[in-house]
Structure 1
C-alpha cells in the first residue's frame, strides 16, 4: 500500500511520522510513505520532494513575496501525487498549500481518497472553508475535541476526533502524569518560560517585547530567572537578540531541553499558537501575545473567532489572557506574569481550567492508531 502525504511544517511532520509508524505496524513492509514531509517523517523512510522549510511562512505579506516559488512547488507536488497514483492522499495542516494540492488532485483524479489530518481553523476565521472542503476531502481527522461538531454545523466533511498527538508525546507524558499543583514550583526563585514562536517572522516581532517584559518582571521579582527554548535553526538570531537584554534568559535547544524547561518553570509568556495547548496540558500558567505582519494586520477583520487561544476554545471561556498588537505592552505582561507566578486567584483559575482541558482531550487509543484506521478504511475501499 502506498500513501501520499503533504506536510508543510514541523508540527504536521510530527503528526505525520506518528501516523506512518501506526500504518507500518498495521501493514508491515508492504507499506510505503511518499510525498512531502520533514525530518521526523524522513526518519520513518519518507524521501521528501523538497525541504518543507520553504513552506514555513506566516502572514499574507510573506506569502505574497514568495508566491512564484510557492506556485512552482504546488505544481510539482500535485504532479507527483497524480503520477504516483497512491491508495490515499493525507494532507496535514498547512491549508494554504496542502488544500490547493488536494483540490487539484481531486479535480484530476477523483478516485484518490483524500484525508485531511488537522483541518483548517474554521472555528476561528473564514467559516465558509468548512463547506468548501466537502468537494475534495473525504474525511477530516481532528486533534481538538470541539472540531467535529463545528465542522458538522458548518456543513463540512465527516470528521472524527482522535486525540492530540501531544497526549502521547514522550516529553509531555511525564508532565501529564503529575498532579496539577496550585502553588508555584519555585516561590523563592521563580522561573519564567519565554516562548516567542518557531518562525522567524513571529520571533522578530515578539522577542523585543518579551525582553522588556522580563526586565520589568525582574524589577518586581528580583530572583526571577528565565528559560528560552528555541528551535535550532533560529538559535543564532535569538542569541544575538537576547545578548542585548539587561536580564538574559538561558537559551536551550532540542525537544528534551524544552520539556525539561516546561517541567521546572512557574509560568510562561508565549506566542499564541499550538504551544498554548502544550503549556495547558503541562499545567503551566501563561500569558499569550501575537503580532501579525503588516499586510496580515490589514486583513484582521476576517478573524471571526471569539479567541485565538486553543485552551480557551476547549474550556469554552476566556481562561487565558491574550495580547495582540497594541495590547502587547511589557508593563501589562510583567504585572500579569507576576500574578501568575505567585499563589494568587489568577494562577488557581488557570490551573483549574487545565484540569478540564485534560479531561476533555482524553482518549482511549493513541491518536496515530485511530487515524490509521480511518486512512486504511478509505484506502481499502478504493482498492
Structure 2
C-alpha cells in the first residue's frame, strides 16, 4: 500500500501512522486515537480518515473476499477493539478434539485480523503452540457423562469459578468455548450473569460445535434456552444451522473440523485436491517399524479421555487375545491421545499386551495416517476418530462403554439408534457398532473378524465415506466447486476455522 509522501495536513495525518499498517486500515484511529490529532486541524483528520477508506478499497486487501468481508461498521468487534489497540480473545477447550479445533481457530484469527490478538483461557498442547498459556491443564475438565462427573464435581466447580474470574479479569472482547458442553455452557451462563450484574460492556459469547439437540428427546426445547447466554453458535453438521435459527440462536454451518486434516496434509502435494481423502504411506510405515509383509495390522484408538481409555483398553486387550490364535502374525498399532494421563496409562498397559504393539504418539497427523494406510481394519472408541478413519478410507468397528447409569440414561433419552457420525448422517448402519452391554470382548472379536473377512462390508464403508465427506462441507465450499471454476484451491477461503474466524471478526454487536 503506497502513501503519498508529500507533506501537507492531510498526508501528515496519514503519514504519522505509516509505520503501523494495521492502524492505517482503521479510520477511527485518525479521529479518536491518533497522537497527532491535537496538532493537525480537525478537518484534515476527517479527510485523512476518508482517504484511508479510499486507499484501503483500492488495495489488494479490499479485493480479497475475506478482507472485504471484514470491512464492517462501527458496531463491529474490530472497531470496538481498535480503540484499545488489540483484540482480546478468551478461549476454552476441554478435550483433545476441542484443542485441535481451537488451535486452528486461533491460527486463522491471527492470519486475518487487522489487529494484534491476545489470547487467554484453557486448552491443550496445540493451543499452547498458538501462544495460549492455559490457566490449568485441560485434562482437569475433560469429563464426559452424567454419573462420571460426580467424583470430580468439586474440582469441576473450583475450575469453573477460576475460569470465570480469569475471564472477567482479562476483559475480553470475545469469548469462545469449544465443545465440552457441560463446562462450556456453565461458563457462558455465569459470565453472562456477571456482566449483567455489573451493567458493563460484555464480550460477544461464541460456542463452537453445536449441542446434539437432534439426538435427544426434548433436545430442541433445551436449545431455546441457549439464546439467553450464547450469542452465536458454529455448527459442524448440516441442518444444525437451521435448527439453531428456528430456536432463536444465531448460527453458521462452517463445516466439520476433520476437513482441515485434508487441507493441511494434502495441500502442496503434486496430486490435485479433488476429493476429501487422505492417503498415508503404509509401505514406509511398515518399513519404519519392521512389520513383516504378511502381518495383519489392526489400528486401535481407545479414546482421548482417561475415563474412556480405562474402560475401553482392557476390552481391546481381551479382544486381541481372542484373535491372536487365528491371526498368528497379528500386530496392533495403538494411537495415544496427546494427554499425559492417557499416555502414562497406555504405557503401563502395553507391558502385558497379548500381541506386538506399536504406540503412535498424539499430535503426529502424518504418522497417524501412514499407520491407517498400513492397517487392514481399525477398532475405535466412538468419537472424532471415526471421521478420521473415514478420511483414510479405513474400515472400522465403533465401540463404547460408560457407567451403567449413563448407559441407562442414553437408552431412554436418545432419539437415534446410532452413535457414530457416519451412521447418523446416512441413517444407516454402514459402520458396525458394539455399544454398552453389547461391547464385550467376544462380541467385538466376532464383529471385527467378520469385517476383516468380508470385502463387501469393507467396500460399503469406503463408498459411504465419500458421501459423508460431501455432507460435511459448508455450502458452495466443496473442493470440486473450486476446481470447476478453474481456480487453485485456497484453504484459507473455505476451511472451517477460517469461516469461523471471519464470522467472529465481522460480528456486529446489537
The TM-score with structure 1 as length reference comes to: 0.89
Match of 2:73 in 1: none
Which residue is equivalent to 1:284?
A: 394
Aligned counterpart, 1:237: 345
My pick for the range that moved more, 60-69 or 96-105, is 60-69
Q: Residues 8, 221 of structure 1: CA spacing in aligned structure 2 closer, same or farther, 3 A cutoff?
A: same
Q: Deviations over 1:29-52 (max 9, x none)?
A: 522122222222222122222221
SS in 2 for 1:137: coil
Matches of residues 128-277 of structure 1 in structure 2 within 5 Å? Answer: 128-152=221-245, 155=247, 157-169=249-261, 173-174=265-266, 176-178=277-279, 188-231=294-337, 233=340, 234-256=342-364, 257-277=367-387
Question: How far off its partner does 1:354 sit?
Answer: 0.8
Within-5 A mapping of 1:292-311: 292-300=402-410, 301-311=412-422
Which SS does the other structure have where 1:57 is aligned? coil
1:187 is displaced (CA, Å) by 9.6
The equivalent of 1:323 in structure 2 is: 434
Task: Establish whether residue 72 from structure 1 lines up as the match of residue 158 from structure 2.
Answer: yes
Alignment-derived partner of residue 509 in structure 2: 382
Q: Partners in 1 of 2:265 and 2:430 — Cα distance?
A: 23
Deviation string for 1:281-310 (max 9, x for gaps)?
A: 211111111111244234332333332111
Change (3 A) 1:134 1:62: same
Asked if 1:346 is matched to 2:346, the reply is: no
Q: Return the match for 2:500 from 356, 371, 378.
A: 371
Residue in 1 that maps onto 2:90: 4
Q: 1:215 to 1:33 in 2, by over 3 A?
A: same
Match of 2:147 in 1: 61
- Checking the alignment, whether the CA contact within 8 Å between 2:336 and 2:362 is kept in structure 1 is yes
Quick one: distance in 1 between partners of 2:124 and 2:343?
A: 19
Q: 3-state SS of the aligned residue for 1:351? A: helix
Deviation digits for residues 89-147 of structure 1 (CA, Å, limit 9, x no counterpart): 11111111111111112223254221111122222236133111111112211122242
Compute the displacement of 1:26 (Å).
Answer: 1.5
1:124 aligns with 2:215: yes
Does the 8 Å contact 1:279/1:286 carry over to 2?
A: yes
The number of aligned residues is 375
Kindly name which structure, 1 or 2, has the bigger radius of gyration based on alpha carbons: 2
Structure 1: gaps spanning 5 or more residues: 180-184
- With normalisation by structure 2, the TM-score equals 0.68
Deviation at 1:374, TM superposition (A): 1.4
The answer to whether the Cα contact below 8 Å between 2:316 and 2:441 also exists between their aligned partners in 1 is yes
1:117–1:141 Cα contact (<8 Å) kept: yes
CA distance in 2, matches of 1:221, 1:165: 36
Q: Which moved more, 1:121-130 or 1:188-197?
A: 121-130
What is the CA–CA distance in structure 1 between the aligned matches of 2:207 and 2:295, rounded to whole Å?
45
Displacement of 1:366: 0.9
> Which stretch of structure 1 is more off in the superposition, 16-25 or 127-136?
127-136
SS at match of 2:258: helix
- The DSSP-based 3-state class of the residue aligned with 2:213 is coil
In 2 relative to 1, CA 62–29 (structure 1 residues): closer, same or farther, beyond 3 Å?
same
**1:173: Cα distance to partner?**
3.7
Q: CA deviation at 1:19?
A: 0.9
Q: Structure 1 residues 295, 173: closer, same or farther in 2, change over 3 A?
A: same
Tell me, in whole angstroms, the C-alpha distance in 2 between the residues paired with 1:146 and 1:282: 25
| RMSD over equivalenced CA pairs, Å | 2.6
Query: After the TM superposition, which of the residue ranges 135-144 and 217-226 deviates more from structure 2?
Result: 217-226
Q: Distance in 1 between matches of 2:349 and 2:188?
A: 40
Does the 8 A contact of 1:339 with 1:347 survive in 2?
no
Q: Using CA pairs below 8 Å that are at least 6 residues apart, which structure has the higher relative contact order?
A: 1
Alpha carbons of structure 1 residues 150 and 344: separation in structure 2 relative to 1, 3 Å: farther
Alpha-carbon offset, residue 274 of structure 1 = 1.4
Asked if the contact 2:295/2:331 (under 8 Å) is kept, the reply is: yes
Residue 114, structure 1, aligned to residue 114, structure 2: no
